[in-house]
Structure 1
Amino acid sequence: MELLSTPREAGVRAAVTARDLVKVHGRGDASVRALDGVGVSFGAGRFTAIMGPSGSGKSTLLHCLAGLDAVDSGTVHIGGTEVTGRTDRELTRLRRERIGFVFQSFNLLPALTARQNVLLGLELAGREPDPAWFDAVVDALGLRDRLRHRPAELSGGQQQRVACARALVGRPDVVFADEPTGNLDSRAGAEVLGFLRASVREFGQTVVMVTHDPVAASYADRVVLLADGRLAGEVDRPTPDTVLAALRHLGGA
């Protein structure tokens, strides 16, 4: 399958590229083809949402793109670096140095302060933070007066903002977000989504997000649609209504 590309994506440098991805869960008669020849690219400095009906393969695709799950065949590149086929040690280093993650569960260490959680990835990678960039991220997320608090002393929205700061403080090539607002109320979710969009528009960050929520997807520049492990189209400049219409066409709403 050829790479999916639109006129707006054409000419935009690809931050992440997948070619002919196949991922099978299970064996024999019980096997499920979670990804069935997916080829797609994600432009640098763009905010892309991945959507589809339950079981469409969207989370599997995200995990394979991020090197969290191995593929059965096909390739993934982040910039000019191939992710597929690397050893666990090489993947760990790649994720620490070039990838940021924001998950539905905040994955903060309860014994550490917000500041320590934000800087944990850099510390594990043996890298020193850029003080000016740290300040810019913390201030953009409104965390300045929460840096000494531990996760139990923070609201869900504040914890997710800490997770966003942790993902961005190392200036990764790409941030992968898997249902980042799934555990948040609508107001806190809007704050997190607004920041992810601002990180793209103001900081030039690349964000790839899986979501089931058409409102969340409307914060993105582009929505890539999956169905039955295959690409099923896309929505450019999405709104909640256009995303809902596309999902209904897939039988996902």
Structure 2
Amino acid sequence: MTLSVTELTKVYGEGDTAVRALDGVTVTFAEGRFTAIMGPSGSGKSTLMHCAAGLDTVTSGSVRLHDQELTRLGDAALTRLRRTRVGFVFQSFNLLPTLTAKQNILLPLELAGTKPDPEWMTTVIDTLGLGDRLGHLPSQLSGGQQQRVACARALLPRPAVIFADEPTGNLDSKTGHEVLDFLRRSVRELGQTIVMVTHDPNAASYADRVVLLADGRIVDDIEDPTADAVLGRLRTLGV
């Protein structure tokens, strides 16, 4: 069991203006699996990911990563955890424009004061096909190359889990397919655990499992999803 969320509630605001973004969500994300989180706009999928990753506080409930209770950690401990045990891939890439691809990839390890495992770094770079792009700045890379750099940055510290927030949202369909294929391979070949928020049924079909949210609650859990199965279920939710 890599990541477990128990009776998670998140309320924004107070009184009459309060919004219950998550309403008692309980879910486990198994080690070495690729899980997609989907749901209508406002269903709570991004809130669930942010709370599970320690990026946002919870109103009640718990989040456990292996033996650590994230909801009891202070800011400094959460920062250390995010640098070493959690990886992130965002829609907007979030690369520093003044750093080369290699410097961007190494940044989390440098911030944590650790050195990369040379063999593992070679594996990640080769798997992503970035060997001839390491000296380039983000502005010299295509969108797909920038997202592959972001994937390498997330993988290099060997985190317990990688959270991907709409990782293909800014990519064309061909490049998006390449990034999703790599994420799939990183689970199958490298044993990575990935939790991805997406609105795209085709992207979700790369996952081992799809968790569907509506109104802050889990309403379905689909194993071995196909794009058609996910799309059909979303339609029943009015998406």
Q: Is 2:18 the counterpart of 1:27?
A: no
TM-score normalised to the size of structure 2? Answer: 0.99
What pairs with 1:43-82 in structure 2 (closer than 5 Å)?
Answer: 43-82=30-69
Corresponding residue for residue 170 of structure 1: 157
Q: Deviations over 1:43-91 (max 9, x none)?
A: 0000000000000000000000000000000000011111112111010
The match for 1:118 is 105
User: Mapping of 1:7-22 within 5 angstroms?
Assistant: 14-22=1-9
**What TM-score, normalized to structure 1?**
0.94
**2:226 corresponds to which of 209, 233, 239:** 239
For structure 1, list consecutive stretches of 5 or more residues without a partner in the other structure: 1-13
Structural mapping, 1:103-252, within 5 Å: 103-252=90-239
Q: Which amino acid counterpart does residue 207 of structure 1 have in structure 2?
A: I
Residue type of the alignment partner of 1:91: L
* Paired letter, 2:70: V
Letter in 2 for 1:40: V
| Unmatched segments (≥5 aa) in structure 2 | none
Identity between Structure 1 and Structure 2 (%):
68
Q: Deviations over 1:79-113 (max 9, x none)?
A: 11111121110100011110000011111000000
- CA drift at 1:28: 1.4
- Residue 102 of structure 1 pairs with residue 86 of structure 2: no
Aligned residues: 239
How far apart, CA to CA, are the structure 2 residues paired with 1:82 and 1:177?
21
* Runs of 4+ off more than 2 Å: none
1:41 corresponds to: 28
SS for the counterpart of 2:149 is helix
Looking at structure 2, the residues matched to 195 and 214 of structure 1 have their Cα atoms a distance apart, in angstroms, of 17
CA RMSD of aligned residues (A): 0.6
